[in-house]
Chain A
Amino acid sequence: MLIDPFVVIAQIINFLILVALLKRFLYKPITQAMEGRSQRIERQLAAAAIKEKDAEAEKELYRQKQQELEAQKQAWFEQAKQEVKQEKEKLRQQGQAEVNQARSEWYKTFEQDRQKFARQIRDRLSQQVVLTARKALADLANANLEAQIIETFIDRLYNLDRLPKETIPTASIPNTRHVITIRSSFTIPEEQQERLIAAIREQLADNAEVQFETIEDFICGIELRDCDYKITWNIEHYLKELEGSIAKVLAENNNQAA
């Protein structure tokens, strides 16, 4: 017989035992191992996803920081440029001011020197002119310079124009007395004082009270003062003309030198 009942039953039992054994030693452990690995991979993937997220966040953070740094650098650069520009402008202005100040000081000193020099020239010239005139007058006409000045002045009084002659008597009189002052750089002798008084009373005011004053500031001359009116003969006038000419020559020389 092909089928042995005992063998069939035994094989059924064998097979069921084998199922149990393989379930215990094969399927269960293998399934568990695969599930464990699957869970582990899932955990690793989750961890990797978190790390990737963190890395992305870090990357974004560093990117922002880099942008901020770049912007800050640009701002600093712009600020530095502005500061340099301002400092340059400030220094330029400062330098310009210093140059201007030095120039003005130089001009001032130069002007002072020029004026001093002109004054010296004028003093020397006046002295020299006076001496020369005096000597010339003495040699040629045997005349005294001061006496000649007074004569010239008396002559001018007699030849006064009509307008000043009318103006003087009507000029405001500060007091009841009509005082006319004669100022000169030298002392006028008695005789000539009398002639001057006579000329004044004849030409200007017959009641005039004449006072004589000697002024050191006058280089060489004589002056009549009556309130707001004055008649002068002074060598200073000639000297000023001479000084003007010299100044003009000096300025021309300076311009040429510049």
Chain B
Amino acid sequence: MNLTPDQTIYWQRGIITINATLVFTWLIMVLLVLASWLVTRKLSASTNISKGQNLLEVLVLGIGNQIKEVSQQEPEPYVPFIGTLFIFIAASNLLSIIPGYQPPTGSLSTTAALAICVFFAVPLYGIKKQGFWGYFKKYYLQPTPFMLPFNIIGRLSNTISLAVRLFGNVMSGTMIVGILLSIAPLFFPIIMQAMGLLTGLIQAYIFAILAMVFITAATKTTDD
């Protein structure tokens, strides 16, 4: 039994490895973009809209509202990044209902990649909002400059905890299902699968909200 989809390798040459993580990531990307394109190619500004448009509007509006609640700022600059995090992780986890599918978020490489994206997004948004010195002073030299090493460690641990939390949850879900299949193959795996769907969605929400919290901490000025 494979612990992560990284171990399912389809093609390899040197360091270039095409494994299940990448393949299923691409698959999810294609699915999401295709679905978005199908719905948004015939958008209506009237009050009479299609079901797909309605779903996407609810999704985008919900993401925006959550960002606004967390950050107390206008959500527009953050929606693409945070929204994509949530949608990608949620789609990865929800598709695990399909037999033979291996969620990319079950790979520590994927969650680490997402956490690294957050790690870099935080200073980018912070510097964009309040300038390099303002960001640096507020985020790393507080409460005193002596705390700088600890602050750096804190930021890194934030990133690592993001990655490990998501990986651990998704991987454990897959593992539990695998273990239960060998112990009680008839009934329990289904329940656990259903639980996995809920957990996956919650994990996507937690990841996106934590990312937003970090970004908010970096972008929130004293005026806000």
Interface status of A67 (Cβ within 8 A of chain B) = no
In the bound assembly, the distance between CA atoms of A5 and B15 in angstroms comes to: 9
In the bound assembly, the distance between CA atoms of A4 and B18 in angstroms comes to: 11
Given contacts A11-B22, A26-B60, A30-B43, contact A3 B112 (CB under 8 A): yes
Interface string of B80-120 (1 = CB under 8 A from A): 11011001100000000000000010011110111011000
25 A-B pairs within 8 Å (CB atoms) are namely: A2-B108, A3-B108, A4-B17, A4-B19, A7-B17, A8-B112, A11-B104, A11-B114, A14-B26, A14-B29, A14-B113, A15-B114, A16-B117, A19-B84, A21-B29, A22-B33, A22-B36, A25-B33, A25-B40, A30-B43, A33-B40, A33-B57, A34-B60, A36-B45, A37-B46
Interface status of B218 (Cβ within 8 A of chain A) = no
Give residues of chain A (92-151) contacting chain B, Cβ–Cβ below 8 Å.
Answer: none
Q: Which 7 A-B pairs have the closest CB atoms?
A: A36-B45, A11-B113, A7-B109, A29-B40, A26-B36, A25-B36, A33-B43
In the bound assembly, the distance between CA atoms of A18 and B113 in angstroms comes to: 13
Instruction: Please give the distance in Å from B49's CB to the nearest CB on chain A.
Output: 8
B interface residues with partner A (beta carbon < 8 Å): 3-4, 6, 15-17, 19, 21-22, 25-26, 29, 32-33, 36-37, 40, 43-47, 49, 53, 56-57, 60-61, 76, 79-81, 83-84, 87-88, 104, 107-110, 112-114, 116-117
Interface status of A10 (Cβ within 8 A of chain B) = yes
- Beta-carbon contact of A40 and B22 below 8 Å: no
In this complex, the interface size class of chain A, counting residues with CB under 8 Å from chain B, is 20 to 34
In the bound assembly, the distance between CA atoms of A152 and B18 in angstroms comes to: 185
Interface status of A90 (Cβ within 8 A of chain B) = no
Secondary structure type dominating chain B contacts: helix
Interface status of A17 (Cβ within 8 A of chain B) = yes
Given contacts A11-B25, A14-B26, A27-B83, contact A4 B117 (CB under 8 A): no
- Beta-carbon contact of B57 and A30 below 8 Å: yes
- Beta-carbon contact of A30 and B116 below 8 Å: no
B60 partner residues in chain A, CB cutoff 8 A: 26-27, 30-31, 34
Given contacts A2-B6, A12-B113, 4 further A-B contacts (CB under 8 A): A11-B21, A12-B117, A21-B33, A29-B43
In the bound assembly, the distance between CA atoms of A8 and B22 in angstroms comes to: 10
Given contacts A8-B116, A11-B109, A40-B45, contact A22 B22 (CB under 8 A): no
